[in-house]
Amino acid sequence: MRKLGLIVNPIGGMGGSVGLKGTDGETYRRALELGATPVTPQRIEDTLSLINRKDIYFLVAPGKMGENYIRQFNFKYEVVGTIEEETSAEDTKRIVQKMATEGIDLLIFVGGDGTARDVYDAIGLKTPVVAIPSGVKMFSAVFALSTRAAAEIINSTVDQYIEKEVLDIDEDAFRDNRLAARLYGYLKVPKIKALFQGGKKASSVSRSAEDNKQGIADYVVENMEKDNLYILGPGTTLKTIADKIEVEKTLLGVDAVYNGELVGKDLNENGLIERIKKYKNSKIIVTPIGGNGFIFGRGSKQITPEVLKLVGE
């Protein structure tokens, strides 16, 4: 049997839709106050439903850190470790270390960059991993492209591995409109490059890149229609557009403009929905995240499926 470890960060990604740009530390409680709900259960259930190998035996974390989800399926498994009602990064590290000592062939973890750092602290390069994306910040290169990609990696018979970057993103700086990142370490992942995202890279500030941004901004501003709400996603290109129409733009947040005026700054899901319903006609302007190419879901979690549905109606 192939022995796999499974651990889930139960609060991973909860700050995304409410615009908190993370759930590290006490921010989790603020996310709850704003009505955030868990997102990791759906991610792991989606992945488990697509795993078709019959030779897998799971070591899973207890309760909401793994056991609650896997027992809905027909996998053979045993529970490793114990947890209290309120879980922490220390639980992740302790349980992952125990799984590694029991000889797992691959660790599957669900969360964001913070969870990736906890896993690195626990096992470093000792055990290969597959990271299922479920955080607010997923700039590290260890994450599969999607739950379907994660399942495809787990179903594969690849036994070659490469090292991928784990990034340390400063959440406080991130909320203050600054992307402060440093290399935290490396984790070992299966060598299937097409199924993993690229790491986040800083936007280019070369002359040609700046000229391109100005050209895009000129085009967008010239084609903006009257009485339309424009939702501006995060990033330097969108800030160039905002500068062109002389409104303030949060570099890493989502803002809204109507007839040349800022009508919403650093909005969360509810704020976007409120304005879409108020102004009737809405359009979203976004660009891919530098280096990994995502349009929605990484770095713009405020733009939820519900927001997309309303804009598309």
Residue 188 pLDDT: 96
Give residues with Cβ within 8 angstroms of 242, minimum separation 6.
232, 248, 249, 255, 257
| pLDDT per residue as tens digits for the range 191-217 | 998 898 875 554 444 556 677 788 888
| pLDDT per residue as tens digits for the range 229-251 | 999 988 888 888 999 888 988 88
Residue 18 pLDDT: 46
- pTM comes to 0.66
- The whole-angstrom separation of Cα 35 and Cα 47 is 25
| pLDDT per residue as tens digits for the range 251-293 | 878 999 999 999 999 888 889 999 999 998 999 998 876 555 5
| pLDDT per residue as tens digits for the range 76-119 | 999 999 999 888 899 999 999 999 999 999 999 998 888 999 99
Instruction: Report in angstroms the alpha-carbon separations of 218 from 57, 111, 200, 231.
Output: 56, 38, 26, 17
* Residue type at position 157: T
Q: What is the DSSP string of the chain?
A: -EEEEEEE-TTTTTTTTTT-S---TTHHHHHHHTT----HHHHHHHHHHT---SSEEEEEBSGGGBHHHHTTS--EEEE-S---SS--HHHHHHHHHHHHHTT-SEEEEEE-HHHHHHHHHHHTTSS-EEEEE-SS---STTBBSSHHHHHHHHHS----EEEEEEEEE-HHHHHTT---EEEEEEEEEES-GGGBPPPP-PPP-SHHHHHHHHHHHHHHHHTPPTT-EEEE-SSHHHHHHHHHTT----TTS-EEEETTEEEESS--HHHHHHHHHHHS-EEEE--PPTTT--SSSSS-TTS-HHHHHHHH-
Give residues with Cβ within 8 angstroms of 180, minimum separation 6.
169, 170, 173, 174
Average pLDDT over every residue of 131-140: 79
Structural domains of the chain in order of their starting residue, each with its CATH number = 2-195 (3.40.50.10330), 207-312 (no CATH)
